[in-house]
Structure 1
Amino acid sequence: MSADPHVPPELSSFVGRVAELAAIGDAVTAGQVLTLVGPGGCGKTRLAIRVCRMAAEAWRDGVFWVGLEEEADGSHIARRMAAALDVLLPAGPDPVPALVSALRDRELLVVVDNCEHVLDDAARVIAAVLSKCPRVAVLATSRSTLGIAGERVWRVPPMGLADALELFLERVRAGAPDAVGGAEARSGARRICDRLDRLPLALELAAGWAGALSLAQIADSLSAPFALLDGGARTAPFRQRTLQGSMSWSHDLLDDDEQALFRRVGVFEPGFTADAVTRLAALGGPGRERLLKALRGLIDKSLVVADTTGPVARYRMLGVVRAYALARLQEAQEAAAARDLHLDIYSSLLEQVAPLLDTDKDAWRMQLGAAYPNVHAAVEWGLSRADPTQGRRLAAACVWLWHLEGRGTEGVRLLRRAAERGADERSPLQAEVLAALALVANTAEPGVEAFEVARAAQQLAAETNAPAAGRLARSLAALGRLAVGLTEALDEARAVRDEAVRAGDGFVVDSTEVFIGLVHVLADDYREAIEHLERAVEGHLGRGDRGMGSFALGWLALAAARSGALQRAGELAQRAVTTAEPLRDLHWTGSARAILAEIRVLQGRLDEATAALAPIDRLVAGAGQLPFITGWERCKAMLALEHGRPREAVEWCWREGRWQEEPSAEWLAPETQLVLAAALRQSGDHSAAARVLHALSDAPVTKQMPRIRAGALDELALLSHATDTERALHLHHEALRIRLDHDLVLDRVASLESLALLNLRRGAAETAGVLAGAAERARSDLGAAPRPFLRVADTSEELRARLQEPALHEAVEHGRAMDLPAAIGYATRARGPRRRPESGWESLTPAERSVAELAAQGLSNPEIATRLFVGRGTVKTHLAHIYVKLRVANRTELARAAAEPLNQHN
């Protein structure tokens, strides 16, 4: 690219802006003016220079640069343009006609740089030239639009992140090459780019500090950018030697109304509206109409950015511009009054849209979501005041934003602060704050805090006559009763629902319906669960409550899946995901996707399960602290197991309990404990698997959860396959009995598969084949893919050899002809009768014989339990039976009586 003597030289490399250059180059047209508009330091001049160099050969008579940065008197613009174009002008009061005449037949591009301080005169000259010179194109740069007929405005955006990083790091290398290197430096560079809105001038000035501070220190110092960003090149125009100088240049060009509005809108976060701006009239000075006119002036002068693409125009200031505005606000001693008014504005907004909470929560969320940065700032300010009442009230009113969107952690922080500011008062407001905190904490952070706060809110609401807060708190406290037992939780949920029905509290009615349905799912009463959950889905989605609606759909999908309706379950789970996604919340969307993934695993569609979790995995990978997503870790563990990676599955299960200081299996969900036990067994750690299963079986809540009890029995049986096949057979059939009694259709298939494997181990190839074929048929009938007959942990050579037996293959075909009820009947009959004498050594079961042998060797009950992977209570029960059958009274007699029979047995 050859140099043009009429265009300023590029003294440093030009970085990025490929798309912008292409767009500007295409827009430069003969007979028209294109104005590059943007705040000081955004790169307008550098863009114009580069466009000139790229376009030089396209203009027959050349490209010419007219710089107005030193032009204090606009009356000389025409003569400055003439000098740049080598045009001689006669003396006279108005040189414009002569300039126009000289350019009439020429084909060229004129760049008029830095027009903002002589805007009227620059506009007049450019308009005159274009009116008579059809082959002349004008490219202007200005902080304000020219305002002439036919002007096309191209607002220069901040640099893209990749370009900004490249520019900043290149300038750092030029002055301090050792400062760039390593992930920490890269992270600091990115923070600098974000804090400086990716403005080229600010980045160049920040890079100048790299020889004195690390990039992380520079980033930390930019909370006050104007104090740091000085010391630009001495050859630069004075307004670009410091960021302060650049902003002062723009500020001084504003009229009085614009200056007043400029500093006052500094209190607004991005996303404020014209209505909010007009409320600033309460501070005195310009009235509503003058404020709107001043707002348009700030937009034209690139100090406020307008977004008019939505139904309501919204505005923002770039961060460095806003920092300068706030400094001027402080200087004018208006900061506290402006922030108080800002708090009033957004408190009024919450009151205005509150009726939508009961009719269209989706619409409420969308309106408040757009205003959230300002709502959040108002809460922060309100809680910092000497009287925090208004801030606390606003925080409580924001609860549904924090509950429904991806801001739960922030909501918990602010609501805790609001609760702390009111800790000494017993008031309805404090009850509302505590109830709000319990609601947000329930979805943002697992653990007992939400339930403890809910109980405190419930008590305070009753004391201070705050019924709405009391109902919400009571419904949340009911969740905590799950730790006591399903029956207790269900009774409390029904009582809360009935109270809410009488009060007409739709949200609490439908939320407790969800909870009642959830309890029925846990109790494996799917018919009742589906009835309540379908009612809750209708209620929540009717009000636009996507969060609870998606939650109810997810549990409805699980109820359908576990009762055998896998296709409907998949449809419901997909609907739960679709419902949650507009919330842009990792908790709600993640939980819905976890349920969808679990159902895809149950269907045997593992690739689809992985795909369901992929968006969440990507988001979580970039999160500093792993968020709380119900069921996510368990689904990752299930997938790892299906793919033959049991150790990885163990790790994923333990991650679910990472919120506890000392994670233990009892803090994991019962379903996760089952997956953990299976993973431990398949990884070879049978002792740990047995401990998890016995603790799970002994837990009070588990005794009310048939599916979990049956699953634990099945896993205990699998642990006994290699050591005590008769005990394993008994446990498998007990699990099957429970699954039959409670309509656990899908789990009945798992029973068939477990029994098939056990019979294969016992050498009963025909029975094993029939059960395996029947299980394959059942999975197909239910809409699931077949599973391998042998799992990863059961790949011994002996078993693999048995798979080749012809009798097995014939039996599999026979089993495929059976429906599920017929297969269950076959499995029950195949168990056959058991005939043993009433007393003596032959009367002992294999499990009792094993206990007797170890007891005779002198092992204690705990040692026997560990050796045989059973509970201590089980050992004690076996010994009692042994004493009766052998007619002995203690271990000494047992050892003496056992010596001869045990020797014969061995």
Structure 2
Amino acid sequence: MPTPMISAREAEVLALLGEYLSNAEIAARLFISVRTVESHVSSLLRKLELPDRRALSRRAVEQASAGQPRPAHVLPSPLTAFVGRVRERGELAEAVRGHRQVTAVGPGGVGKTRLALAVAAETAGGFPDGVWFVDLVPVTDPRRVGAAVAAAVGVGEQPGRDIDDAVLAALADHRALLVLDNCEQVRDGVAPFLERLLTGCPRVRVLVTSRARLMVPFERVFPVPPLSRAGGDESDAVALFMDRAAAVGWPPGPAVSEGVVAICERLGGMALAIELAAARWPTLGLDGLTAGLSDQLRILTGGVRADDRHRSVRAVLDWSHDLLQPQDRALLRRVSVFVAPFTAEAAAEVAAFAPLDASAVADGLGRLAEQSLLAVAPSAAGTRYQALETIRQYGTERLADTGELTVARSRHVAWCLAGATALTGAAGGDWRARFDALADDLRSALAWAADQPERRADACRLASSLAGLAFTRNLLGEAQQRYEQAAELAGDAAGAAALRHAAAVAGCRRLGDDMYRLHRAAAQAARRAGDDVGAGRDLAAAATVAYRFSTSFTRIPPVDEVAAVLEEARKLSGDAPAAEAAVALAEAAVVTDAFGALQADAGNTVREAVRSAERAVGLARRTGDPVAQSAALDALSGARSWAGDASSVAAAARCRIDVLACAPATPAGTHELMDALAMAAATALGVGELPEARRWGGQLADHPLLAEAGHHATSWVLAADAFAGHADDVLARSVRFLDAWEHSGRQRSLSLGAAAASVAMVHGLRGDHDARAAWLAVVGRADTAVQHRHGYGAVLDAMVLLHHGDVNAALERVAPEPDQVWKWVCWIWLHWYVALRAETAVLAGHPDARARIGAARAVVTGNPVATAQVDRAEAILDGDLPRQLAAAKAFDAAGCPYQAARTLLLAGGGHTAAGTTALAALGLAPRAAR
């Protein structure tokens, strides 16, 4: 009976079965998966026609006793499991199969040796005459490379024959694989030896690991990247950390997974660094490791190793550093000041001082990249270089040791200042990418300069530049932080200006407490600088913020405190136009807010509020400052809202946007524009101009600064779309709204509550009561005061109840007289409230229906939607069908298709089908015809 064909890999598996190893042990020995072992076992059972695993083991023992030869696969046995690198293993194995000589290149500690061993074991079946591993670390003489290979292969010296010739003769007809590990220090000997070997042994293949290429034409280079960090807690880097931490008895739990991901990111995916960090996990934990990684060279150490190069990250880097020429050592330490990838031109500006010149820098960068000490990546700005964080820390130590730290850092600061200046005021589609490429270096340079007393001026310039650039880049938190840092570094006059900018950025972030604090801090700095007028303006701004943006505070300042601040502002301001206008604005804000605590019939207070706001507008116009004019118009808008003059309120809000068209894109101007757009959208909604509300709200939603603040950005668009009946648009935007609101820490404001209630209303119209309940719960957490929810809540609830024919419940929801609930109905919802009171009264047959119609008509004049709603109610009361249908057209013309469709349903008869179809097209569940 012929012997069945068994592959080399199957032969290996069979032999290990003869040692009575488990599948897991065989997988570890051969660097293959357990599933692959199971597949080979099944194949052996079939080919050898044996009944079970024990029979396979007996067959293997018999073969071993009979002396049947096995391939000479001489590979070190790993002491730990090989983790990850599925893609790299496959690609390197394919390279070994397809090319005579492959060099796996990468920095020390990246995991080249383990990868090469895994691939050698995996491909061993294709080399029936053997696989040998040759460690070249002990070899210091390039002429002894052949001797090291001979020792690994088992070739002895022969009389009259050179040892290299003996190796070539022994392997001449072998189909074998040689793994030459750690070739970087003897490259000059490896290259010529391999050229002879591959020429004289045509069936031999060679896998080399090195920190630098051999630079020979027959070489196929395989760059070994750091462990993958993509995928977060499922990445190869994290998997390795978890495995090694578990091996020392302290597996990290899921609660710290994000912290482990961050650690692996900071370690750059370097396998050795990750293993050493994991070994410290039991004693340091997450907090200790995270803090300790600021000095990776100190913390990333292990116990005594047979190969002392891998005892610590420092030892690995010492090995690489000692192989460099003196000029390349100087370059490596000098470019360590760069945090982000840098160009050769940038390196020359920083590192080109004695003994290096610009040409030496460019040439040296290439050599450092060849030694895997710098990573190289092409970019639109040209080739860029980058050192891993561990190498940067090593280089910084060397800078200090050689006394070059101050000069290198100073040159880096100068380079950063020039880069920031070039970016400031620049434009173009690549601005964002250019900032991102520079930002980390700006931060690093600033951190160093801020700690050097003699560099304080440079640090202040860096902080100011970074603040402005971060604001333009929409990094608002950092912009505020850097403006405050600039204020600390600057003198009092410049510090006051920086604090004003910081306050405006806080306004963009809707942080009222910070706005108030920073304006007061600016006043103190201005007074120390002798600028009493500026201090008065800052104090007036603080008082204004306390009233104008009260809904953005977590703790509203006490009234008596704000009064004292305003009084101090009056004393300091004198008759300077800008300061006088600021004080007038604060006074108008105080008067308007004071009226808000009173009843609607407090006529004298209303008139006083309007007069005060009009005075503020006049003074602001004299200053020529568009931001001041817009703020004063906002005060006038608020005062007129209490007077019930809705059209004037909306007009003032629109005027603000026109005024701000010429305002510079400073933090203050941007904050004012964002507020103006929000108020324009809100006031347009209040007077029934739904297309305008959507337009202004859309502009706000599209503002770059609100890219991450989808809850604030989309608030008024959601409300306008909900009133119009654009259900699909509301539901689509609500996803972004809810996600942004959750990520913001569940901020609170009137507009956020109204937006959430609008989404709840749409779900209610669709008949999805569970979703509506969920969104009503959001309303309770998103608004600042329960009385607000009485206002828009009454309106939106009544619309849902009417939609589903629950007329009596809707009547009850809007039962209070408007003048009894003035404060919580608020003017934005007033038109809708009175129109709904009229409609519910008619549909419920209330005796005061006609009186409510008359009262509503007097209020909603100029509001096209509310007017059509009142007209429809009166037409239903009078049984006037043509007038009802005319109302449907009026709703369509006003951009409110929901009420147009509902009008057709209310008309009944032959119009019901058209109304049902229209509601279905809007994505809303139809109600039964009346």
| 1:645-724 correspondence runs (5 A) | 648-649=774-775, 651-653=777-779, 655-656=781-782, 664=785, 674-675=791-792, 697-698=822-823, 707-711=828-832
Deviations for 1:856-889, whole angstroms, at most 9, x for unmatched residues?
Answer: xxxxxxxxxxxxxxxxxxxxxxxxxxxxxxxxxx
Correspondence for 1:180? 252
How far, CA to CA, are the matches of 1:468 and 1:101 in structure 2? 92
| 1:147-186 correspondence runs (5 A) | 147-149=215-217, 151-160=220-229, 161=232, 162=234, 163-177=236-250, 179-181=251-253, 183-186=254-257
Q: Shift in Å at residue 350 of structure 1?
A: 1.9
Correspondence for 1:227? 298
| 1:185-334 correspondence runs (5 A) | 185-232=256-303, 234-235=305-306, 237-281=307-351, 284-334=354-404
* SS of corresponding position for 1:146: coil
Contact preservation (8 Å) 1:405, 1:584: no
Contact preservation (8 Å) 1:475, 1:496: no
Aligned partner letter, 1:786:
Y
* 1:16 paired residue among 70, 74, 84: 84
* 1:378 paired residue among 445, 450, 467: 445
The answer to whether residue 368 in structure 2 is matched with residue 368 in structure 1 is no
Contact preservation (8 Å) 1:69, 1:114: yes
How far, CA to CA, are the matches of 2:237 and 2:124 in structure 1? 27
* SS of corresponding position for 1:223: helix
Contact preservation (8 Å) 2:116, 2:179: yes
Q: Shift in Å at residue 447 of structure 1?
A: 0.9
* SS of corresponding position for 1:69: coil
Of 135-144 and 675-684, the range deviating more from structure 2 = 675-684
Contact preservation (8 Å) 2:184, 2:210: yes
Correspondence for 2:898? 786
| 1:480-491 correspondence runs (5 A) | 481=585, 483=589
Contact preservation (8 Å) 1:37, 1:144: yes
* 2:495 paired residue among 420, 426, 430: 430
Contact preservation (8 Å) 1:650, 1:680: no
RMSD: 5.4
Decide whether aligned partners of structure 1 residues 697 and 143 sit closer, same or farther in structure 2, where only a CA change above 3 A counts: farther
Decide whether aligned partners of structure 1 residues 629 and 677 sit closer, same or farther in structure 2, where only a CA change above 3 A counts: closer
The answer to whether residue 418 in structure 2 is matched with residue 348 in structure 1 is yes
Correspondence for 1:643? 763
Percent of residue pairs bearing the same amino acid type? 24
How far, CA to CA, are the matches of 2:369 and 2:618 in structure 1? 57
Contact preservation (8 Å) 1:517, 1:533: no
Correspondence for 1:611? 732
The answer to whether residue 460 in structure 2 is matched with residue 392 in structure 1 is yes
The answer to whether residue 908 in structure 2 is matched with residue 809 in structure 1 is yes
* SS of corresponding position for 1:224: helix
Aligned partner letter, 2:450:
L
How far, CA to CA, are the matches of 2:748 and 2:382 in structure 1? 34
* 2:475 paired residue among 396, 407, 411: 407
How far, CA to CA, are the matches of 2:619 and 2:165 in structure 1? 89
Correspondence for 2:180? 112
Deviations for 1:229-265, whole angstroms, at most 9, x for unmatched residues?
Answer: 2225734x21112222222222222222222232233
Decide whether aligned partners of structure 1 residues 711 and 783 sit closer, same or farther in structure 2, where only a CA change above 3 A counts: closer
Aligned partner letter, 1:809:
G
Decide whether aligned partners of structure 1 residues 810 and 243 sit closer, same or farther in structure 2, where only a CA change above 3 A counts: same
How far, CA to CA, are the matches of 1:598 and 1:209 in structure 2? 54
How many correspondences in the alignment?
760
How far, CA to CA, are the matches of 2:304 and 2:833 in structure 1? 74
| 1:697-846 correspondence runs (5 A) | 697-698=822-823, 707-711=828-832, 734-741=855-862, 744-748=863-867, 786=898, 809-810=908-909
Correspondence for 1:450? 515
Q: Shift in Å at residue 343 of structure 1?
A: 2.5
Deviations for 1:689-721, whole angstroms, at most 9, x for unmatched residues?
Answer: 99999898459xx98xx5344356568889999
* SS of corresponding position for 2:453: coil
Q: Shift in Å at residue 593 of structure 1?
A: 4.5
Q: Shift in Å at residue 106 of structure 1?
A: 5.3
Correspondence for 1:75? 143
Q: Shift in Å at residue 633 of structure 1?
A: 5.7
Contact preservation (8 Å) 1:710, 1:736: no
* SS of corresponding position for 1:342: helix
* SS of corresponding position for 1:786: helix
How far, CA to CA, are the matches of 2:472 and 2:673 in structure 1? 11
Aligned partner letter, 2:864:
V
Deviations for 1:177-216, whole angstroms, at most 9, x for unmatched residues?
Answer: 5x433x4343443343233233221222222234434344
How far, CA to CA, are the matches of 1:97 and 1:783 in structure 2? 92
Contact preservation (8 Å) 1:6, 1:65: yes
Q: Shift in Å at residue 220 of structure 1?
A: 3.6
How far, CA to CA, are the matches of 1:105 and 1:472 in structure 2? 89
Contact preservation (8 Å) 1:66, 1:113: yes
Contact preservation (8 Å) 1:770, 1:813: no
Deviations for 1:408-433, whole angstroms, at most 9, x for unmatched residues?
Answer: 222222322332444xx442x22431
Decide whether aligned partners of structure 1 residues 215 and 365 sit closer, same or farther in structure 2, where only a CA change above 3 A counts: closer
Deviations for 1:581-612, whole angstroms, at most 9, x for unmatched residues?
Answer: xx79514x664455554454344344433433
Contact preservation (8 Å) 2:150, 2:163: no
Q: Shift in Å at residue 75 of structure 1?
A: 1.7
Q: Shift in Å at residue 371 of structure 1?
A: 0.8
Decide whether aligned partners of structure 1 residues 420 and 649 sit closer, same or farther in structure 2, where only a CA change above 3 A counts: farther
Contact preservation (8 Å) 2:724, 2:899: no
* 1:42 paired residue among 110, 113, 116: 110
Decide whether aligned partners of structure 1 residues 361 and 529 sit closer, same or farther in structure 2, where only a CA change above 3 A counts: farther
* SS of corresponding position for 2:73: coil
Contact preservation (8 Å) 1:776, 1:787: yes
How far, CA to CA, are the matches of 2:166 and 2:519 in structure 1? 82
Q: Shift in Å at residue 520 of structure 1?
A: 7.8
Contact preservation (8 Å) 1:404, 1:547: no
How far, CA to CA, are the matches of 2:632 and 2:148 in structure 1? 78
How far, CA to CA, are the matches of 1:366 and 1:15 in structure 2? 35
Contact preservation (8 Å) 2:749, 2:782: no
How far, CA to CA, are the matches of 1:411 and 1:74 in structure 2? 56
Aligned partner letter, 2:120:
C
Aligned partner letter, 1:745:
P
Correspondence for 1:900? none
Q: Shift in Å at residue 225 of structure 1?
A: 2.6
How far, CA to CA, are the matches of 2:820 and 2:838 in structure 1? 16
Deviations for 1:450-480, whole angstroms, at most 9, x for unmatched residues?
Answer: 3674687699889999999999999998987
Decide whether aligned partners of structure 1 residues 186 and 155 sit closer, same or farther in structure 2, where only a CA change above 3 A counts: closer
Aligned partner letter, 1:65:
F
Contact preservation (8 Å) 2:887, 2:900: no
* SS of corresponding position for 1:212: helix
Q: Shift in Å at residue 280 of structure 1?
A: 2.1
* SS of corresponding position for 1:740: coil
* SS of corresponding position for 1:642: helix
Correspondence for 2:600? none
Decide whether aligned partners of structure 1 residues 380 and 773 sit closer, same or farther in structure 2, where only a CA change above 3 A counts: farther
How far, CA to CA, are the matches of 1:362 and 1:547 in structure 2? 24
Q: Which runs of 5+ in 2 are unaligned?
A: 1-8, 14-29, 31-71, 550-584, 593-608, 765-770, 802-808, 919-930
Q: Which runs of 5+ in 1 are unaligned?
A: 501-507, 658-662, 791-802, 820-906
How far, CA to CA, are the matches of 2:337 and 2:191 in structure 1? 34
Decide whether aligned partners of structure 1 residues 611 and 328 sit closer, same or farther in structure 2, where only a CA change above 3 A counts: farther
Q: Shift in Å at residue 85 of structure 1?
A: 4.8
Deviations for 1:277-307, whole angstroms, at most 9, x for unmatched residues?
Answer: 2222476442222223222333222222233
Deviations for 1:516-544, whole angstroms, at most 9, x for unmatched residues?
Answer: 79998996566786687589779989xxx
